[in-house]
Structure 1
């Protein structure tokens, strides 16, 4: 299975797209600021009040709030370039009742739950909303919002059919679902195929191998098991790209870690989980389908000489009850073992639990790895640290945490994601070099190895390729 520990890199944004890494992927989408999951708020210009799904859903929609919070915020489900469903706080959808009043009582969207957002060409935040009956929404009063306005060419404030739309800052999702549904079924297949053909090539594997990397961790989505005709809006083609990666890895003496990064229902609500709108819905009912994806991957690659391991799920964030996760890991492990007795099976530690959460559970298995992710980011504790404090944190806390999941006879440990990026103003090249070296010093002690996030990215310090080319990181002695 190769020489451990691996010096690996994540091929992020290749087979599971993340728009923050390469935002140009979204440039051709009409209304690209209104993708699936984007959170919006609507304020009546007549009443100067926000629309609200009373009680978070299950009853009427009013226009009586002076400020907007959860009940006044709607998540978009994109139907076309300008047509959407509006999902409310408690997950119902807005629809028209029998009198054309607006209610939030539907559990699944269809035509009555579909609305067109018509934007003012001079001020796109000023909108009208056309319902499925062809008429426009109007806020007649604070307690009556209806779809019975014939329309107008007047965009002045005070018109009952004119609303100000606020896109909640930081709410936009830019994942695989958003890009494929954003382009639609006619354009998305070619956009994605062009991306897969050019973003990572065999030349990249040559570069990685020549610079001391021994493995790649490749994020994949659950829909890869349904290739070439996955459920919409996903498009076929990612399986052929993964096949190519195995061939290129073999050609250049590298291993492939297949990482199920996005599971059906979403295990963490993040855009890289394939979510449509950010809700975490994976649970016990999804276990059979998710196990089937792992079995598909194990059957296809279990005996491939370049397989380094199969990761059963990336970054689960499932709350205090781990029973469903353990049940899934047991069944998925068994699925891998049907096709390979030697392939490493990687269990991602739940992100909302201590690193030792799976340690005793994993001890029952053979050739199993616990994956932890370390970022000196995404938490207030890092906001005021200087470079030396970041480095000290690596040598002390990170080293201690990693050693806590290192055992003699039990599972191996793996730092499946880390980066030299810092949210620190004014850091010098030497600062980044020292910070990267500290992490390499500590994470090299992981018995399965480490994997940098990511190989290629528009942001220099997130991109291992740029870090190597520019002399920030040197791996090959």
Structure 2
């Protein structure tokens, strides 16, 4: 990261709010006045880049290198089954858990305990020490409590914890991507939406309107709350339905068409209108992210007339890619894995997990010393591909808990287990793709 000091306001005014991407080097002052620029090394300082134009980011060698905060604000039982167990829930989703507790005050207390302890400020310090520069934060629509229906069951009181976590990321000098991971009505048949809805209800005017309110609320936070000064990207919705599921779910085609021709253009306008009302300058606007065309929901930009600061999210779990169950095949696949498409694109979710039927056999067990070299090289192969054919990556996820106990899904655990080095640049010297 190069030298070029540039003062950042210690307290953001609406007209001067700045957003960033990793790369260009600026002074970063934490909320308590610590000068992060003048630490012992630029790498440690977590220096960030002013918001970029899509066509010029490819000229910068610095890529997004990050981790997701999965299961923090949307608990996913498979990642952290001890959380719901601790609440006395035998549930797979937050909606079901809160419903089963049948006591809103108790549910609130349980979830607030989780939000206040599962990720700490020290986690962000550790991320920076591992060479990471970005966090992607999945959030549910219910954090804006005014748009939650009385018929919906979600924990309350999350906003202050979100503010705190985003502030810790800012204090560490980390770039932040916030994603609407749980949309009103659920955008997919999966508990990552916060509810298990067999017929996703997101794709209609009522729930689109609630999502627009959420996006406006978040946009206002970014540009008026100093804790959000390193939030540079807002994702309109995580992992919507995909066209190749249409044979199972006849509504998918209509849903994806509606999302692209109605939700995306209107959501885009709502964000830009909110910024305009706050007098945010064009070079300080949010990057707006949508799932890349490779995801399978169609071309996200098909009905957009404005692509200024557009960005795209590509998720690649090789575990599900049908690669031959052979270590060399995994590395060869990832070395040649071209993730380019809509531009600029970031691989916003990926892992080191392998095919389910072999993952805990002796030949693939990550806890066996003889397998660690494979996982290091496969990590390196993915890092290089995602930095060569995309603009960087965000690993799923930073931390897990409970019975999963698998470093292939847990960046923090993978570093401790020796599967991921703390020097990310070493990916280029391991010979994984030579």
Question: What TM-score comes out, normalization by structure 2 length?
Answer: 0.70
Measured at CA, do residues 361 and 394 of structure 1 come closer, stay the same or move farther in structure 2, by a change above 3 Å? farther
Which structure shows the bigger proportion of residues in helix conformation? 2
Task: Supply the RMSD in Å over aligned alpha carbons.
Answer: 2.4
Give the corresponding residue for 2:157.
Answer: 237
1:261-302 per-position Cα deviation (integer Å, ceiling 9, x unaligned) = 011111111001122443222212221111111111111113
Write the mapping of 1:446-457 to structure 2, written as runs, cut at 5 A: 448-457=391-400
Give the corresponding residue for 2:340.
Answer: 403
The secondary structure found in structure 1 opposite 2:332 is helix
The answer to whether structure 1 residue 320 and structure 2 residue 253 are counterparts is yes
Measured at CA, do residues 276 and 3 of structure 1 come closer, stay the same or move farther in structure 2, by a change above 3 Å? closer
The answer to whether structure 1 residue 16 and structure 2 residue 35 are counterparts is no
The answer to whether structure 1 residue 2 and structure 2 residue 2 are counterparts is no
Deviates most, 446-455 or 311-320 = 446-455
The answer to whether structure 1 residue 225 and structure 2 residue 157 are counterparts is no
Which structure shows the bigger proportion of residues in strand conformation? 1
Count of residues in Structure 1 that have an aligned counterpart in Structure 2? 326
1:27 paired residue among 53, 65, 85: 85
Q: Distance in 1 between matches of 2:195 and 2:422?
A: 35
The answer to whether structure 1 residue 470 and structure 2 residue 388 are counterparts is no
Q: Distance in 2 between matches of 1:374 and 1:363?
A: 28
The secondary structure found in structure 2 opposite 1:372 is strand
1:346 paired residue among 289, 297, 309: 289
The alpha-carbon deviation at position 182 of structure 1 amounts to: 2.6
The alpha-carbon deviation at position 190 of structure 1 amounts to: 1.5
Give the corresponding residue for 1:358.
Answer: 300
1:125-161 per-position Cα deviation (integer Å, ceiling 9, x unaligned) = xxxxxxxxxxxxxxxxxxxxxxxxxxxxxxxxxxxxx
With CA pairs under 8 Å and 6+ residues apart, which has the higher RCO, 1 or 2? 2
The answer to whether structure 1 residue 213 and structure 2 residue 232 are counterparts is no
Q: Report if the CA contact (8 A) 1:8-1:214 is conserved.
A: yes
1:100-124 per-position Cα deviation (integer Å, ceiling 9, x unaligned) = xxxxxxxxxxxxxxxxxxxxxxxxx
Query: Which stretches of structure 1, 4 residues or longer, exceed 6 Å deviation after superposition?
Result: 227-230
Measured at CA, do residues 302 and 345 of structure 1 come closer, stay the same or move farther in structure 2, by a change above 3 Å? farther
The alpha-carbon deviation at position 333 of structure 1 amounts to: 1.3
Question: What TM-score comes out, normalization by structure 1 length?
Answer: 0.64
Measured at CA, do residues 235 and 416 of structure 1 come closer, stay the same or move farther in structure 2, by a change above 3 Å? same
Q: Any gaps of 5 or more consecutive residues in structure 2? A: 1-19, 24-62, 243-251, 365-370, 426-434
Q: Distance in 2 between matches of 1:352 and 1:306?
A: 27
The alpha-carbon deviation at position 211 of structure 1 amounts to: 1.1
